């Protein structure tokens, strides 16, 4: 390995910067936002409702609720299911803090489990060992856009011995009669698992439309409902809309109907509805997502893989298998035989060449809040090893071939 206190060859700040993941904003996006502004509807309105319908059609579910973030979607579903103090929710140790934070917000305990060494996703055997009578929900995370093992997850939740452990505390929990699988698919809209798109792979799926996501609305998220019978998805959709708007029985669009001004407040709800300005961006992005955005991101992944697979210093991420196809959200390259400090030095070397890279993610037990709550990264050796060697490379729509080559050369040089 390089002596990392040496100045890198070719160090320069004169080259134009390569950002990590800027959003795609072009004339079509701007025109649709202007149209939304001129329409008079800038809060939840017809565009939001249309965006919900189109997402539902795209992923193959009956009902979708759009919100201002994926975090809001995860928390609303936990609260809808009745998760509360004394309950446990299983999450991977390797994820963004939002996955666990929403559990804490509900007063419940995040139970962290280790992940797979090969694909970063939650390990099914570790989940099974962590299930207790207090477990109410499992939140798998589709890391970097690659779907988790949903058949195995669904089978685990339905296993007779696991169901016997389940202790319902609410009518909703009794109705389901087992642990809820709540997929954190913040990275994976458009990904495929055994012929189905994410969103329709388990009980409930939540997407993110944050600024760095493949499909952005600037900020935003969506809940995809796929619960089994006898759940009434139309009724649950209405309940979630109410929860997302202060518990109010009607939104602004519904109250515009003649004589329909009167409303009620059914519960002390939240304020996390999506606006039509955000939905306007999403409608443009969804229209060109499958046959444009995903194709470009796959092209970038393939370019990186072609280059780095020829060099034994690198461990190539899994983004396609016989049963899975990623959404190509993050390219998590790992450096073999590298320490965390050496990895950090490589990032610094690349940054010196005006190239932005990232790390996905700092494992939850290493964050101050969770560390102070008693979680210890030494209990999650796979998560730590993946993190310590991982560097996420730039992937975005406007990344050029020349820029891709610059990233490759910078990584090759910094890792020598």
Helix, strand, coil share (%) of the chain residues, nearest 5: 40, 15, 45
pLDDT confidence of residue 259: 67
pLDDT confidence of residue 163: 98
DSSP state of 190: T
Q: In whole angstroms, what separates CA 43 from the centre of its chain?
A: 24
174: which 2 tokens? 């009794």
Residues 385 and 258 in one domain: no
Q: Is residue 202 part of a domain?
A: yes
Q: What is the DSSP string of 288-357?
A: TIIIIIHHHHHHHHHHHHHHHTT-TTEEPPP-B-SSEE-----EEEEETT--HHHHHHHHHHHHTTTB--
User: Which residues on adjacent β-strands are paired with residue 113?
Assistant: 92
Q: Tell me the whole-structure pTM to 2 decimals.
A: 0.95
Count of CB atoms within 10 A of residue 351's CB? 15
Residues 211 and 336 in one domain: no
Q: Is residue 5 part of a domain?
A: no
Among 264, 286, 308, identify where a domain stops: 286
Residues 351 and 242 in one domain: no
Owner of token pair 């407040």: 265
Residues 206 and 266 in one domain: yes
75: which 2 tokens? 């928390």
Among 286, 321, 343, identify where a domain stops: 286
Q: Which residues contact 7 (CB under 8 A, 6 or more apart)?
A: none
DSSP state of 369: H
Separation in Å, CA 9 to CA 204, 289, 389, 411: 50, 39, 22, 12
Task: Decide: 313 and 343 in contact? Cβ < 8 Å.
Answer: no
Residues 159 and 249 in one domain: yes
Q: Which residues contact 179 (CB under 8 A, 6 or more apart)?
A: 131, 135, 136, 137, 138, 157, 162, 166
Task: Decide: 359 and 245 in contact? Cβ < 8 Å.
Answer: no
User: Does an H or E element contain 399, and which?
Assistant: none
pLDDT confidence of residue 284: 98
Alpha-carbon gap, residue 268 to 238, rounded angstroms: 15
Residues 42 and 54 in one domain: yes
Instruction: CATH number of the domain at 296, please.
Output: 3.90.1150.10
Alpha-carbon gap, residue 200 to 315, rounded angstroms: 31
Residues 230 and 93 in one domain: yes
pLDDT confidence of residue 255: 62
Maximum Cα interatomic distance, the chain, rounded to a whole number of Å: 75
Count of CB atoms within 10 A of residue 295's CB? 12
Residues 102 and 194 in one domain: yes
Residues 81 and 127 in one domain: yes
pLDDT confidence of residue 257: 72
Q: Is residue 9 part of a domain?
A: no
Q: Is residue 342 part of a domain?
A: yes
Q: Is residue 15 part of a domain?
A: no
pLDDT confidence of residue 1: 36
pLDDT confidence of residue 12: 57
Q: Is residue 2 part of a domain?
A: no
Separation in Å, CA 26 to CA 31, 327, 398: 9, 22, 11
User: Does an H or E element contain 63, and which?
Assistant: strand 63-67
In sequence order, what E strands does 209-296 have? 221-225
Residues 165 and 61 in one domain: yes
Among 267, 286, 305, identify where a domain stops: 286
Number of domains in the chain: 2
Residues 269 and 134 in one domain: yes
Residues 245 and 363 in one domain: no
pLDDT confidence of residue 5: 38
Three-class SS state of 77: helix
Could you tell me how many helices (H) and strands (E) the chain has, helices first? 16, 13
Q: Is residue 71 part of a domain?
A: yes
Q: Which residues contact 400 (CB under 8 A, 6 or more apart)?
A: none
Blockwise average pLDDT, block size 10, the chain, 416 residues = 41 82 97 97 95 98 98 98 98 98 98 98 98 98 98 98 97 98 98 98 98 98 97 97 89 69 88 97 98 98 98 97 98 97 97 97 98 98 98 98 98 88
What is the extent of the structural domain holding 41? 27-286
Alpha-carbon gap, residue 114 to 123, rounded angstroms: 6
Instruction: CATH number of the domain at 265, please.
Output: 3.40.640.10
User: Does an H or E element contain 196, and which?
Assistant: strand 196-197
Q: Is residue 19 part of a domain?
A: no
């Amino acid at each position: 390995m390089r002596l990392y206190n040496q100045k890198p060859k070719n160090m320069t700040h004169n080259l134009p910067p390569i950002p990590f993941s800027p959003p795609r904003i072009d004339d079509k996006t701007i025109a649709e936002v202007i149209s939304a502004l001129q329409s008079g509807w800038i809060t939840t309105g017809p565009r939001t409702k249309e965006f919900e319908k189109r997402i539902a059609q795209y992923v193959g579910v009956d009902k979708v609720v759009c919100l201002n973030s994926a975090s809001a979607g995860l928390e609303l579903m936990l609260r809808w299911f009745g998760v509360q103090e004394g309950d446990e929710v299983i999450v991977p140790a390797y994820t963004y803090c939002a996955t666990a934070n929403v559990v804490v917000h509900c007063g419940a305990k995040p139970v962290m489990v280790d992940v797979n060494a090969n694909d970063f996703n939650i390990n099914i055997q570790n989940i099974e060992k962590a299930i207790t009578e207090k477990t109410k929900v499992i939140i798998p995370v589709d890391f970097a856009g690659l779907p988790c093992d949903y058949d195995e997850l669904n089978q685990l939740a339905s296993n007779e011995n696991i169901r016997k452990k389940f202790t319902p505390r609410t009518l909703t929990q009794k109705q389901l009669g087992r642990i809820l699988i709540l997929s954190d698919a913040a990275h994976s809209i458009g990904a495929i698992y055994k012929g189905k798109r994410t969103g329709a792979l388990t009980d409930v799926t939540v997407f993110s439309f944050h600024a760095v996501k493949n499909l952005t609305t600037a900020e935003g998220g969506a809940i995809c409902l796929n619960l089994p019978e006898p759940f009434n998805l139309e009724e649950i959709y209405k309940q979630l809309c109410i929860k997302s708007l202060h518990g109010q029985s009607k939104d602004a669009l519904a109250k515009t109907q003649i004589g329909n001004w009167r409303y009620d407040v059914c519960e002390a709800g939240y304020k996390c509805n999506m606006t039509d300005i955000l939905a306007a961006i999403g409608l443009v992005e969804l229209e060109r997502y499958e046959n444009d955005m995903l194709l470009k991101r796959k092209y970038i992944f393939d370019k990186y893989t072609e280059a780095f697979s020829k060099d034994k210093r690198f461990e190539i991420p899994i983004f396609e298998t016989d049963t899975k196809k990623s959404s190509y959200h993050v390219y998590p390259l790992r450096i073999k035989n590298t320490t965390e400090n050496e990895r950090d030095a490589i990032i610094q070397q690349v940054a010196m060449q005006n190239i932005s890279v990232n790390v996905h993610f700092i494992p939850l037990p290493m964050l101050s809040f969770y560390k102070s709550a008693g979680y210890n990264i030494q209990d999650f050796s796979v998560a730590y090893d993946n993190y310590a060697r991982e560097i996420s490379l730039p992937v975005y729509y406007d990344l050029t071939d020349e820029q891709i080559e610059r990233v490759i050369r910078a990584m090759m040089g910094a890792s020598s």
